[in-house]
Amino acid sequence: MQRYIIKRIFQSLIVILGITVIVFIIVHLTGDPLDLLLPPEAGLEEREIFRHELGLDKPLYVQYFEFLKNISQGDFGQSFRHQTSAFSLVIGALPATIELTAAAMILSIIIALPIGILSAIRPRSFLDRLGMTFALIGQSIPVYWAGLMLILLFAVTLGWLPSGGRGGISNIILPAITLGLFSTAAIARFTRSSMLDVLDEDYIRTARIKGLSEHIVILKHALKNAAIPILTITSLQFGRMLSGAVITETIFSWPGVGRIAVQAIYNRDFPVVQTAVLVTSVIFVIINLLVDIMYMYLDPRIKYD
Contacting residues toward another protein, per CB under 8 A: 11, 14-15, 18-19, 22, 26, 29-31, 123-124, 136-137, 139-145, 148-149, 151-152, 156, 196-197, 200, 239, 242-244, 246-247, 250-251, 258, 261-262, 265-266, 268, 273, 276-277, 280-281, 284-285, 288
- Name the 3-class secondary structure at 161: coil
Q: How far is the CB of 156 from another protein (least distance, A)?
A: 5
Looking at beta carbons only, is 170 or 243 nearer to another protein? Answer: 243
Report the Cα–Cα distance between both ends of the chain, in Å, rounded. 7
Looking at beta carbons only, is 25 or 49 nearer to another protein? Answer: 25
Task: Name the region of 191 (left: φ>0; alpha: ψ -120 to 50; beta: rest).
Answer: alpha
* Rg, the chain, Cα only: 24
Task: Name the region of 31 (left: φ>0; alpha: ψ -120 to 50; beta: rest).
Answer: left
Looking at beta carbons only, is 166 or 259 nearer to another protein? Answer: 259
Looking at beta carbons only, is 99 or 128 nearer to another protein? Answer: 128
Q: How far is the CB of 119 from another protein (least distance, A)?
A: 12
Residues 6+ apart with CB under 8 A from 49: none
- Name the 3-class secondary structure at 37: helix
Looking at beta carbons only, is 6 or 110 nearer to another protein? Answer: 6
| Nearest by Cα to 119 from 103, 104, 108, 130 | 130
The answer to whether 55 and 34 have CB atoms below 8 angstroms apart is: no
Looking at the DSSP bridge assignments, the partners of residue 78 are: 85
Looking at beta carbons only, is 114 or 142 nearer to another protein? Answer: 142
| Nearest by Cα to 239 from 275, 291, 191 | 291
- Name the 3-class secondary structure at 48: helix
Count of other CB atoms within 10 angstroms of residue 24: 17
Element (H, E) at 17: helix 2-29
Q: How far is the CB of 78 from another protein (least distance, A)?
A: 18
Looking at beta carbons only, is 23 or 217 nearer to another protein? Answer: 23
Q: How far is the CB of 243 from another protein (least distance, A)?
A: 4
Looking at beta carbons only, is 18 or 165 nearer to another protein? Answer: 18
Q: How far is the CB of 300 from another protein (least distance, A)?
A: 25
Q: How far is the CB of 211 from another protein (least distance, A)?
A: 25
> What's the CA gap between 124 and 130, in Å, rounded?
10
Q: How far is the CB of 138 from another protein (least distance, A)?
A: 10
Q: How far is the CB of 266 from another protein (least distance, A)?
A: 7
Q: What is residue 165's DSSP assignment? A: -
